[in-house]
Structure 1
Amino acid sequence: MEGGNKKPTEISSTKMFDGYNKRYKHYSPTLGCSMTFYIYFPPSPSSHSHKFPVLYWLSGLTCSDENFIVKSGAQRVASSEGVALIAPDTSPRGLNVEGESDSWDFGVGAGFYLNATQAKWKNWQMYDYIVKELPALISENFPELDISRASISGHSMGGHGALTIYLKNLDKYKSVSAFAPIVNPINCPWGQKAFTNYLGENKAAWEEYDATFLISRFNNVAATILIDQGDEDKFLQEQLLPHKFEEACRKVNVPLLLRMQPGYDHSYYFIATFIDDHIRHHAQALNL
Structure 2
Amino acid sequence: MLLCCGSAHAADSCLGCHRPHYRSHYRELGSCAGCHRGDPRSDRMSVAHHGLVAARFSWSGVPGSAPVARGNALLDTFACRRCHNTAGRGNRLASNLDQLPAGTTPENLFASIEAPAQQMPDFKLEQGAKTDLVNALLAGARGATVRGKERPLVVHFETEGKGENVFEKKCGPCHKMLTAALGGVGRGTVGPNLSGLFSEFYPLTAAGLKRWDTPALEKWLRNPREFRPATQMRPVLLKKAEYDLLLQIMDPTSRPVAAKAAR
Q: Same fold (TM over 0.5)?
A: no
Q: Which has the larger radius of gyration?
A: 2
Q: TM-score range by the shorter chain?
A: under 0.3
TM-score under structure 2 length normalisation: 0.24
TM-score under structure 1 length normalisation: 0.23
Give the number of the structure whose residues are more often strand, by fraction: 1
Give the number of the structure whose residues are more often helix, by fraction: 2
